[in-house]
Chains A and B, each alone.
Chain A
Amino acid sequence: MSILATKDTHVVIQGGVAGVNAARRMAEFRYMNKQPLNVSAFVYPPDAGKTNEIVCGTELVAIPIYKTVADATAAHPEINTSLVYIGANRAYEGTMDALNDSKIQTVSMITEGVPEKDAKLLGKHARKLGKTFNGPSSIGVVSAGECRLGVIGGAFDNLVACKLYRPGSFGVITKSGGLSNEIIWICSQFADGITTAIGIGGDAYPGTDYVSYLEMFENDPQTHAVVVVGEMGGDLEESAAEWYGAKKRRIKLLAVVSGFCQESLPKGMKFGHAGAKEGLKGEGSARAKSEALKKAGAIVPETFGALGPAIKATHEELLKSGTVKAIPDLAPADVPRLPKTVAEAKKDGEVLVAPLIRSTISDDRGEEPLYQGYPASELINAGYDIPHVIGLLWDNRLVSKQEAEIIKRIIILSADHGPCVSGAMATVLAACAGIGLSQSVAAGMIMIGPRFGGAVTDAGNWFKYAIDNKMTVDDFLVYMKKNVGPVPGIGHRVKSLKNPDKRVKELVGHVKSLGIKTPHLDFALAVEQVTAAKKDNLILNVDGTMAAVLVDIGFPVDSLNGFFILARTIGMIGHWTDQKRQGSRLIRLFDYLVNYASPKRRAVPPLK
């Protein structure tokens, strides 16, 4: 048995992220008790119609979100309790909605900083309707083995440590959220644990008082003693004392009150919760409350530290009188556990997972990325450069200084080729249409293919084929004509023998000056000798030159287009930022640039 939050409690949570977090905590509690989730719905207008995914043990449960409390209770008639996680400036209206819903009996509000006037009006309205308004600033309510409203009780390990999976004999009422957990822990260590613990809220005027809850505990046969953790200010403790002293009560009452330090503080200085404020005439002091409670017969330890032993003594008395029986501890194997996530289980060496992906180039699991095992920062500090990173990530090796220089030159030579070529033009067109950087560059990228920039891999492939098969230039050209078509890497739209491509000249000159073996480049230049003799513009173009050189320094054929793509990305980003900087407007073709070769205007035939 328990009070306020029971096994029959069904909850709607009003609010956003914090409410979802509370639902997750509540799901953990229910999982511990082997019970299904008791959150039926959320009310959060911005997300109405969607669902919140709540982890319940090993499953994800989708809980619907509604616009209003009425919508939620209409769809889920079992709802009888609302948890309010709405911001302080809107909490009043939301809570009124809940109180006015005929299906809802209990509303608990976690929101802090609610204006006092609003809290008072809500409390009065609830009392008028015969309902319970718990809070504001309430950490929640928890009934061991049954139900948890809010995050009270904390993390799963703490729930288990406090034996909240089964009821004890002690009720708890506190203003302070943090102390609720402390008392639950003390009750579980010094006695047999709690039935229900209630955070009443630390504000000046909570919606309920100790007496209402003491009445409920008095009528709950499972609860045999109640621990009240009070604060200076107000008169809730005095009323509780009055209630307790008024007649013989079944439950034992234990209480502590904070605020004795007040007596030795500079005048007017106040600490703690909003509720912890002194009355005008010294009423509501910790001492006055403590005295009143003692007088009424409550057990009032002098300090908080003495509360544990007092609870222990009370429990032993209950045992001796036969009122309660000792509850045996669970065998270690029966102690509830949360299912582990795969990551946790993996860390603990408990599962084997078949990997989905295999990567041989880099590792991101440490404090910085490793490229082929080399930390990026150490590469920088050792003087390595971008071409070395390309070598590591594209060919799993550290390239030499000489090779790095060749790669650098290739990138410099291919970085851009003005706005008129297909790639740049597509990027500019997209930029002028207001398209973002990544999409505009992607538009340019799409142009890279057999006719524009994408012949590097093909050229490398066929030059390598020739060398691997020890073909002569003539054999190669015959083979290509018969089986492939034009030789990739040979031929240029505008350049010719008389008007050579300076980039090719530059690259060939540099590579030849190094005195390294360049069989593929030599072969490609030999092919050019033959083809250019046939037709002036069938020269070795920049794609072909790059391809031959890169194969010569050992790069795999499949990576070759990458050099052009990488280099030209620099240019495309440049074109995009250039247009953006200028605030360029939308452009379109002029009609005089189009040959309109479609049929002239004519009559539309009747539809058959």
Chain B
Amino acid sequence: MAKVLEGPGMGLLRKWGISTPNYIVVTSNEEFEQLSKANDWLQKNKLVVKAHEALGSRFKLGLVKVGLDLAAAKSAVKEMLGKQLESVTIREVIVSEAIDHKEEYYASVKSTREGVDVMVTTYGGVEVEDNWEKVQMLAVEIGESPTDAQLAKLSKDAGFSGDTATKMAEFLKKLYTCFDNEDAQYVEINPVVQNSNGDLVALDAVTLLDGDAKFRHKDWTFPFAAEFGRAYTANEEEVMAVDAKVKGSVKLIEIPGGNIAMLPAGGGASVYYSDAVVARGGKLANYAEYSGDPPDWAVEVLTEKICSLPDIKHIIVGGAIANFTDVKKTFGGIINAFRKAKGEGKLKGVKIWVRRGGPNELQGLAAMRALEDEGFDIHVFDRTTPLTDIVDMAMAAK
């Protein structure tokens, strides 16, 4: 899943014929100044200014300002650009045209195991959460498309009538076409509003695309955004850049405030290791995984980042019995990074816990054990120790 920010999300909707308010994404005051001279709509309409970053609760943070004239918009842009919120610096701001409207509707399309669900309700905006049971849903089977008749019925069932019902059916058709052609996994328009001409306009969009389909979408030139309400950190971005280059994969998510650092192998085992830490009352400092026999240097980069996490007490180098990931090779990368970190004065008082099996496990585990002679506080276990027991031991060691 890959989240797309509002600007590019709106761009995809427009590409498939859905009306959106006029909008621009600006990165500097000068740029906004120039664009405001070039675009009439910025001078004539009330405007909305929003931080264009992967941030949750933008309203609460004061990063959404509505009902502005151009002058007020300019000062809002000035105020937001460059603003620092924890790890995120606001680099982009989206300025869009405010659309006068009375009713707010809701429409979404979502991928399911059986196909695609198209959902719509007249209870849009903030009302949708409380009126979820009123949402009308059309399940479209895999490989099929909703018919005009189905969409017309859906629209009527949701309580739309007359001309608006017809327009909503058309809107849903376009939304489905956009969803299907753009390899989307979830598109939610909330609210959909009716402008003074009676046309339906998408005011805000949540767009999740299938990152795996990027190879067949040459126009996906925008970056994907983090899904967890904050921008990626520099370390996360660096690991993602490595991940994009190598066979296999390396992943990192930092969790501020934790003290148990995770360096497990495999997408399945890594979650069990995280579960085990949480189950024993530990606080995760990160999530990580390396899998699919990645090159040693990629694992080394990941390990470096993990060794640099602040205030960590333990590092869990866990893993199941690998099918084809070479334990000796991947451990080689980890060991290099451990040595480097120690040379830089890191890892003081940090206990390292290792459990692993798989190709060349004997050599890999022996190399890890040898780190003890170099002064590492390291505890190495083989396949005969159950998977997550090292977490129990770490948590008991304190």
Contact = CB atoms under 8 A, between A and B. Distances in A.
A268 B360 CA distance: 38
Interface string B136-149: 00000111000000
Nearest to A263: B278
Interface in A291-333: 302-305, 308
A112 B142 contact: no
A204 B110 CA distance: 13
Contact of A179 (B143, B253, B269, B278): B269
Given A178-B322, A181-B358, A268-B228, A261 B284 contact: yes
The residue in B110, B113, B292 that gathers the most chain A C-beta atoms within 10 A of its C-beta is B113
A115 B277 contact: no
Contacts of B274: 261, 271
B69 interface: no
A178 B266 contact: yes
A150 B30 CA distance: 58
B265 interface: yes
Nearest to A140: B323
Nearest to B281: A264
A185 B268 contact: no
Interface stretch (B87-95, B307-315, B386-394): B386-394
B143 to A, nearest CB: 5
Contacts of B289: 272
For chain A, give the interface size range. 35 or more
Contact of A258 (B268, B291, B321): B268
A270 B228 contact: yes
Interface in A253-270: 256, 258-261, 263-270
A88 interface: yes
A172 interface: no
Nearest to B324: A151
Interface in B345-363: 357-360
B253 A258 contact: no
Interface in B188-215: 210, 212-213, 215
Interface string A85-105: 000110000000000000000
B383 interface: yes
Given A88-B212, A177-B266, A272-B267, A121 B56 contact: no
Given A178-B320, A267-B56, A270-B228, A305 B358 contact: no
Contact of B387 (A235, A276, A302, A304): A304
A241 interface: no
A507 to B, nearest CB: 54
Nearest to B253: A269
Contacts of B180: 117
A89 B253 contact: no
A131 to B, nearest CB: 16
B70 interface: no
Interface in B259-307: 265-272, 274-279, 284, 287, 289, 291-292
Contacts of A121: 142-143
Given A260-B275, A265-B255, A270 B227 contact: yes
A179 B320 contact: yes
Contacts of B132: 281
A499 to B, nearest CB: 65
B324 A117 contact: no
Contacts of B278: 260-261, 263-264
Given A202-B268, A304-B276, A271 B357 contact: no
B183 A115 contact: yes
A303 B267 contact: no
Nearest to A88: B212
B121 interface: no
Nearest to B247: A18
Contact of A235 (B113, B253, B268, B323): B113
Contacts, number: 185
A113 interface: yes
B269 A182 contact: yes
A379 B389 CA distance: 53
Contacts of A231: 268, 271
Contacts of B272: 179, 256, 258, 304
A293 B276 CA distance: 20
Interface stretch (A153-161, A485-493, A584-592): A153-161
B229 interface: yes
B319 interface: yes
A270 B226 CA distance: 11
Contacts of A304: 272, 275-276, 386-388
A47 B161 CA distance: 61
Nearest to A118: B213
A127 to B, nearest CB: 9
B164 interface: no
A175 interface: yes
Contacts of A273: 267-268
Contacts of B110: 280
B11 interface: no
A73 B132 CA distance: 52
Contacts of A176: 266-269, 320
Given A176-B268, A303-B276, A116 B228 contact: no
B91 to A, nearest CB: 21
Given A154-B323, A304-B275, A117 B228 contact: no
A4 interface: no
Contact of B358 (A89, A154, A267, A274): A154
B20 interface: no
A270 B183 CA distance: 21
Contact of B215 (A88, A124, A179, A261): A88
Given A154-B322, A175-B268, A176-B269, 6 more contacts: A158-B357, A174-B268, A177-B291, A178-B268, A186-B386, A271-B287
20 contacts: A112-B292, A116-B185, A120-B142, A152-B323, A154-B358, A161-B383, A175-B268, A176-B269, A178-B265, A178-B321, A179-B272, A181-B322, A181-B323, A185-B383, A258-B268, A265-B255, A269-B228, A269-B255, A272-B289, A305-B392
Enumerate the 3 nearest inter-chain pairs by beta-carbon distance, A residue then B residue, closest first. Answer: A176-B268, A178-B266, A182-B320
